[in-house]
Structure 1
Amino acid sequence: MSDGPALAQYTMAAERAANEVIGAYSTSFGLATRLLGARHRQHVRNIYALVRVADELVDGVTDEAGLAIEQQRDALDRMIAETRRALELGCSGDLIIHAFARTARTSRIDESLIEPFFASMRTDLESRAATPTRLAAFDAQAHDDYVYGSAEVVGLMCLRVFQRDQRLDEATTGRLDEGARMLGAAFQNVNFLRDLRDDTVRLGRSYLGTAERLSDEDRETWVRTIRVQLDAAAETIPLLPKDARAAVRSAHALFSALNDRIAATTVDELYRTRIRVPDAVKARLVTRAVLTTWTEPRA
C-alpha cells in the first residue's frame, strides 16, 4: 500500500532534514552520494543523517550544552528508544529518525545492525565518563567491537539498500557482506589516524591502542592493516549493482589516497594536522571511478 498524501509530504520533509544534516557536516559525502543511482541516493543519506546525529550526541554536543553525564545518557537512550519505536511503527515525530526508519523498513535493516551501532555510541559516552581525567584506551578486542558497531554495520546498512531489489545466492551475499564490513573498517581506521589530535585531546579516547601515544611503528602497522581491508573490499565492488559502484569506488579511492598520505606522514605530524586529499586529486579519483564503472558490464 502506498503512502497517503500527508505521510508522503511528511517523509519528504524528513528527507530534506536528513540532507541538511549532510550539508552541515560533510560536503564530501553529499557530493559522493550524487554518484549513486537515484533509487539508492536518498536512502543512503537517511542512514548517514541518523548515524551523524547519534555520533554528535556522544562527541560533545550534549557535553557542550551543559548536560550532566546522566542527562547525556538519557539523551542517547531516548534516541535509541525512538528509533526502535519508529522501526516498529514506520513513523516518528523526530524527522531524522523518521527518514531513517522509512529506509530501514524498505531495505530490511533490522535490530541486528542497529543495536551494535548504538552499542558503540554508548561506548563512546561511557568511556569518557569512566576516565574523565585520562585517555580511554581501546585494546585490540575493544577496538574490533567498536569498529564493528560504529562502521562495519553502517557499511552493511548501505549494502542492504543496494540489495533491496535483488535476490542473491548465499555465497555472493557472504562475499558482499564481508566487503562492506572491510570497507567500513578501513574508513573508520583511516579516520582514527586522521583524527588523532581531536580524539586524544578533545575527546580523551585512544581507539588504536592502549599506549598514551602512537609510535611511527604503530602507524605503519595500521597503514598495512587498512591496505588489507581496502584490498578485500575492492574485490567485491564489481558484485554491486552498477548504479552503486561509482560512488563506492570513489569513496574507496579517496580513502586509499588518504591512507597513502598517512603512510608518508610522521606520527608527530598526525597529532598536529588532519590529513586531507586536495580537491584536484579528488576530482581525478572520482573521474577514474566513474569511467571504470561505465566501461564494465552490468551485474
Structure 2
Amino acid sequence: MTTSTTRPVSVQPGRLPLYDATAEAASSVVIDRYSTSFGLASRLLSKDSREHIRNVYALVRVADEVVDGPATEAGLGPELARTVLDELEADTERAIALGFSVNPVVHAFARTARVTGFGPELTKPFFASMRMDLDRTEHDDASFAAYVDGSAEVVGLMCLRAFVYRAGRPTFDQAELVGGARALGAAFQKVNFLRDLHADFEVLGRSYFPGVDIRTFDEATKDRLVADVQADLDHAARTIRLLPADARNAVALAHALFQELNDRIAATPASQLVTTRVRVPNPVKARLAAQVLAGRAPVRSRATRRRTGGTA
C-alpha cells in the first residue's frame, strides 16, 4: 500500500493582480456608461478611493439592472429574475469570503469589501431592497424606509468605508459621519425617485413615495418631497468637512450636483415633473466642478442662500 502526499500547486506569479486590474477596469466602464454625475465626481478622488467607489457603483448598478428592465427585456420573468438576483448575492458573499469571482464586477466589489472592511452586514440589506422591486409596486412608510435604507443608505456606508479605512482614525464609528453618509445616500435616491416619477409609474408600474399618486401629483406634494430631500442634503453637507481630505472634493461635487437637481425639481411645475426627467446640463456640471475645486462648493440650497444673503 502506498501513501500519496498532496503537493502544493505551482501558481504563476502575477496573475491575480492582473485579474484584479481587469475586474476594476470593467467596473470603471460601468460607471462611465451609466452615470456622468458619479463618474465626474469620482475623478476628484485619489486613485485608490476612486477604484473602490467605482467597484461599489458597478455592482449596485448590475443588481439594479436585474430588477429594472434589461433582465425583463432579455426575456426573464419575475421568478427567474429573482433567481438571478439570488445567485448574484450568493456570488457576492462567496467572493467576499474567498477573494475571487468569475464575474469581474463581483470580483472587483469583493476586493473593495475585503480591503475596506465591510461584508454581509451591508450587502444583505442592499439585496433585500433589490428584491422588493420584484415584489412591491407601492410602499407604505415602513417599507419605504426599509427600501431607502437598503438601496441607498447602506451604499453610502460602503462608500464611507472606502474613504476612511486608511485614515488612521476611527471616523467610520463617528455617529455624525455615519449619519451624513446615510443622509446623502437617501437624498440621492429620493431625487432619483422624483426625476423618474413617470418612468417608474408608467413603465415599471411602481410608486415609491408612500401615498403619492402621479395622477393627482400637485405642487403641495412636490414641495413636501423636495423639502424632505433638502433636509437630507443639509444634514449631509454638515459632515463633508469630517471626511479625509482626499474624499472631500468628490463628495462635495456629488452633493452639489444633486443639490442642483433638487433646486431644478423645485422650480419645475408638478404637472411637468410627472412627464419629463429633470437633468443638469453638462456646462452646469462643469461649472459646479470648477466651484468645488476652487473651494466654493455650493453646499446649501438656493432658497437657503437667498434667505441668508450668502454664498456657499
User: Per-residue deviation at 1:190?
Assistant: 0.6
Q: Which amino acid aligns with 2:269?
A: T
User: What residue number does 2:163 align with?
Assistant: 162
Structure index of larger Rg: 2
Q: What residue is the counterpart of 2:121 in the other structure?
A: 112
One-letter code aligned to 1:88: A
Shift of 1:293: 7.8
RMSD between superposed Cα atoms in Å: 1.7
How far off its partner does 1:27 sit? 2.7
Aligned match of 1:283? 286
Change beyond 3 A, Cα 1:293–1:105:
farther
CA-CA distance at 1:211 after TM superposition? 3.6
Gaps of 5+ in 1: 128-135, 295-299
What letter matches 1:227 in structure 2?
Q
**Aligned counterpart, 1:212:** 213
Q: Is the 8 A contact 1:73 1:125 kept in 2?
A: yes
Q: Give identity over the alignment, percent.
A: 51
Query: Offset at 1:68?
Result: 2.3
- What is aligned with 1:144? 145
Structure 2 partner of 1:132? none
Asked if residue 13 in structure 1 is aligned to residue 13 in structure 2, the reply is no
Alignment match, 1:126 = 135
After superposing the two structures, state which structure 1 stretch, 53-62 or 205-214, moved more.
205-214
CA change 1:276–1:171 in 2 (3 A) is: closer
Q: 4+ residue runs of structure 1 moved beyond 3 angstroms?
A: 167-172
Quickly say closer, same or farther: Cα 1:261–1:195, change in 2 above 3 A. Answer: same
TM-score (norm 2): 0.87
Q: Select the residue among 90, 97, 110 that pairs with 1:81.
A: 90
Question: Which stretch of structure 1 is more off in the superposition, 228-237 or 26-35?
Answer: 26-35
Give, in angstroms, the shift of residue 93 of structure 1.
Answer: 0.8
Consecutive unaligned residues of structure 2, counting only runs of 5 or more, are 1-11, 298-312
Q: Which digits, 9 at most, give the CA deviation of each residue in 1:126-184, with x for residues without a partner? A: 22xxxxxxxx2111221111001001111110000011113435797211100000000
- Go from structure 1 to structure 2 and tell me whether the alpha carbon gap of 1:172 and 1:96 turns closer, same or farther (over 3 Å shift): closer
Kindly provide the CA deviation profile for residues 61-98 of structure 1, in whole angstroms up to 9, marking residues without a partner as x: 22111122221111111101100100110111111000
CA change 1:252–1:84 in 2 (3 A) is same
Distance 1:82 1:172, change over 3 A: closer
1:39 Cα deviation (Å)?
Answer: 2.0
- Taking structure 1 as the reference length, what is the TM-score of the superposition? 0.91
Tell whether the 8 Å contact from 1:137 to 1:211 is kept in structure 2 after alignment: no
1:257 corresponding residue in structure 2 = 260
Aligned letter for 2:159?
C
Does structure 2 retain, via aligned residues, the 8 Å contact 1:242–1:293?
Answer: no
Answer whether contact 1:21 1:49 (CA < 8 A) is retained.
yes
Q: How far 1:42 sits from its partner (Å)?
A: 0.5
Letter in 2 for 1:93: V
Which residue, 249, 254, 266 being the options, matches 1:246?
A: 249
What is the CA distance between 1:24 and its match in structure 2?
2.1
Pick from 45, 50, 61 the counterpart of residue 54 of structure 2: 45
Q: Flag the 1:293–1:271 CA change in 2: closer, same or farther, 3 A.
A: closer
Cα separation, partners in 2 of 1:98 and 1:231, compared to 1, 3 Å:
same
Match of 1:195 in 2: 196
Q: Post-superposition shift, 1:31?
A: 2.0
The equivalent residue for 2:224 is 221
Structure-1 separation of matches of 2:13 and 2:232? 44
* Greater displacement, 149-158 / 204-213: 204-213
CA distance in 1, matches of 2:145, 2:264: 24
Measured in 1, the distance between the counterparts of 2:239 and 2:44 equals 18
Q: Which amino acid aligns with 1:200?
A: F
